[in-house]
Amino acid sequence: MIVVIAEKAIAARRIANILSNGKAEEKRKNNALYFDFLKDGKLWRVIPLSGHIVELDFPQHMKDWRQTELMKLVDAKTEKRIKMQNIVSLLKENAKEAERIIVATDADREGEAIGLEAVEIMKEENPNIEVKRALFSAITEQDIRDAFKNLKELDYNLAMAAEARQQIDLVWGATLTRFLSLVANSTGKNFLSAGRVQSPTLALIVDREKEIKEFKPKPYWEIQAELRKESKFIALHKKGRFFDEKEAKEIFEKLKNESKATVTKVEVKKSRLKRPTPMNTTEFLRAASRLGFTAGKAMSIAEELYQQGFISYPRTDNQSYPDTLNLRAIINKLLSVKELSKDAETIIALGKLNPSQGKKTKDHPPIHPVAAASKERLSREQWKIYELICRHFLATLAEDAIVRNTTAYLQIKGEEFVAKGKQYEKLGWRAIYPYLSSEERILPELAKGDTVDVIKIEMLRKETKPKPRYSQAALIKLMEALGLGTKATRHSILQKLFSRKYISGIKAIKPNNIAFSVTDTLERFDSKIVKPEMTAKLEEEMSLIAAGKKKKEEVVNESKEMLRKVLKELIANHEKIGKALKEALRQDLILGKCKCGGKLIIRFSAKGKRFVGCTNYPSCTITFPLPQKGTIQKTEELCSYCKMPIIKLIQRRKALKFCINPECESKKQKKEKEENTS
C-alpha cells in the first residue's frame, strides 16, 4: 500500500481524484477521512491531516501560570502533544501495511514540518517505510501528475527550520505573555499577549501614533486661480505653500481683481507607467487590503482557492514567472470566464508574450490563476480575490500605460502660476487592472501667448498634516522590509493584534491605550523586545537551518539566551511595569463622564456579561447595557440629545456608532412625534 499525506481534506480529495482519474472512493474511520483507489495494481490511500496534528507545549506541571517560575519556563523541555487522535490512530494503523509514504503537503517550511509529523508517527510503527516528497505549486491535473512522476526527498532541514520557529515562538510568547498578564493582574480571557514578532510590530503602530499625537500643524496658504479658455481649469501660484501669511496676503490683494492671465510657456512630457511585476504574497495582501480585506481574511480565501485548484500556491516571495510556466495556456483558460474574456483577448492580440519581471527567487512561482472559475461557483468574497489575482496576472502581460503630462505656466500681473494636466494616451495595463485610480486632469488647448479669463482668485488657508496611520497594506510592506515575520506569518501576526484588542480600525490601524502601555513598558525596560533587529536576526538564523548551515538546537539555545537577558531586566522592574499596565487597562475601559461627576466605565457581571457602570458606585447606580459581541471603542463624542457618550462598535469589519443610553433614541422619536402632532 502507498500512503499519500495531504495537508487538508479539500486538497486530499483533489489529489485522490486526479491520481485515480476520478475513481477514488471516499471513506471514514472514527470520523477520520481518507480516499482509496487502485493504481498499477496497488492500493493507494490518501490521508488528509488537519494542519498540524501534534502541537508543541510545555509539560503539564508548568501549565499553572502563578506556580511556574518564568526562568524555568525559558529552559523547560517542550513536548509534542497529539491534537488529532483519530487521524494519528489512522496513520499508525496504516503504517503496518504501507511500503511507501508520499508527503504531498504544502511546499513550504510549515508544510514540510506538518508532513514530517505524520512520517514520524508512522515510522514509530514501521521504521522501514520509504519516504518520498511530491512538490507542486498548484493543485491542477498537470501539476499533480508531474509531481508524482518526479518524486523528491523530504527536506529535513526545511522541517527543522519550521520546528525551530515553533519552539522559539512558544517560549518567547509564553514567557512574555505570562509576565505581562501576571504583573497587570489580567489573566483569563483578558490576558496580555506579547511575542518575538508581535511586540516589534505593535511598536511600529504605537510609534506612528505617537508621531501623529505629537505633530503640531503648521498653517500655510495657497493662492489659487480659477481660469477659463473654452473650459475651466485651476492654476496655483508657483511658490506653492506660503508659510508667511503677510506675503500671501500682499500677492492676493495685488491679484484679486485681475480678469486676464497670459500663457508664458507650455511643456508637454510623456511618461510611462510600468505594468506591475508578478504578484508575491506581500503584494497580494497589499492589493487585497485596498479592496477592504484584512490580511488574515485575504490569505484564508486565497488558501481556499488554491485548495480548489483555481490559483497557484499563495505563499511566495517570487516576482518572476519561471520559463516552465505556460502563460498562453493560462490566458486561454481565462477566455472562458465571461468577466475576463475581453481582457484575455486583448493580451492574445499583442502576439508574443513578454511578462514583466521583478525579484527572482527559488521559491514557488508568483501567485497566478491556474484554472477558470465562474462567478456563480464562488462566493462573493472568493470571486473578488480570484478576479484580483487574474487581473494582476493579465496586467503583468499587458502594455505599459502612456501618460501625457502638460504643464502650463501663466502670468497674472507679474505673478507666475502653474496649471498641470494629465491625460492617458494609452491605458495599457490600467484598462485591465481597475483597482488603482486612473483619474485624468484635462487642460484646454493652450499655447504661448494665449490670453485666458480669470474667473476668480482665492487665498486658501491650509495646515500641514502628520504622516497617516498605517494601513494593513503599508504595515505588511514595512514588516517585510524590516525582516519581521515571513510571507506565511505576517497576516496572522496582524490578526493576533486585532484579536487581543491592541489595535483597531478597518482602513487605518489605531493602537488602544493598552498597546501604548505594553510597548512603552517593554521599551523602557528592555528595548530589544520592541525593536526589529533581534527578530530579524533570528529569522536569518532559521533560514540558515533551512540551508543546512546551522542546527536547530544551536539557534533555539541562542534565542533562549536572548530571552533570559530580557526577562531578568523585566523581573527586576515588575512593580513599576505592573502599575503602568493596570492604569492603561483601566483607561481603556473608560467611555466618558457620568452626570454625577464619576466616570462611565465598562464593567463585567459575575456571569461575564459586559455593561456600563459608574466609578462612583454604590452612590451612583446608573447602568447601561452593552452588546456582548464585537469590539467597543470610545469616540470622545457626546450624544447631541442626551449628552451621554457615543461609542463605536466594530463587528465583522463593520463599524457602527451609537449612544450608550438605550432610551435616548426612543425619547428623541417621542419628542419629534409630539412636535409634529402639535
Residues noted as catalytic: 313
Residue 595 per-residue DSSP state? T
Main-chain dihedrals φ then ψ at residue 138, nearest 5 degrees: -155, 145
Is residue 508 a contact partner of residue 469, using CB atoms and an 8 Å limit?
yes
Kindly give, in sequence order, each residue whose CB lies less than 8 Å from that of residue 522, ignoring residues fewer than 6 positions away: 194, 199, 203, 529, 530, 570
What amino acid is encoded at 602 in this protein?
A: I
Q: Which of 521, 519, 498 is nearest to 633 (CA)?
A: 498
φ, ψ for residue 285, nearest 5 deg:
-65, -35
Residue type, position 43, single letter: L
**Residue 555 near residue 164 (C-beta atoms within 8 A):** yes
Q: Which helix (H) or strand (E) holds 591?
A: strand 590-593
Residue 421, beta-bridge partner list = 406
Q: Measured on CA atoms in the order 233, 238, 241, 245, is the torsion positive or negative?
A: negative
**Number of neighbouring beta carbons within 10 Å of residue 460:** 12
The DSSP line for 569-592 is HHHHTHHHHHHHHHHHHHHHHEEE
Per DSSP, the residues of 84-111 read -HHHHHHHHHHHTT-SEEEEES-SSHHH
Query: Coil, strand, or helix at residue 418?
Result: strand
Q: State how far the Cα of 394 lies from the Cα of 344, in Å rounded to an integer.
A: 7
First-last CA distance in the chain: 87
Instruction: Using only the alpha carbons of the chain, give its radius of gyration.
Output: 31
Which residue is listed with cell 500605460?
401
Cis peptide before 618 (omega within 30 of 0): yes
Amino acid at position 96, single letter: K
Torsion angle in degrees (nearest 10) through CA of 65, 68, 74, 77: -100
Give the three cell numbers for residue 202: 505593535
Distance CA 82, CA 85 (A): 6
Gap between the Cα atoms of 187 and 347, Å rounded: 58
CA–CA separation, 498 and 501 (whole Å) = 5
Beta bridge pairs of residue 291 = none
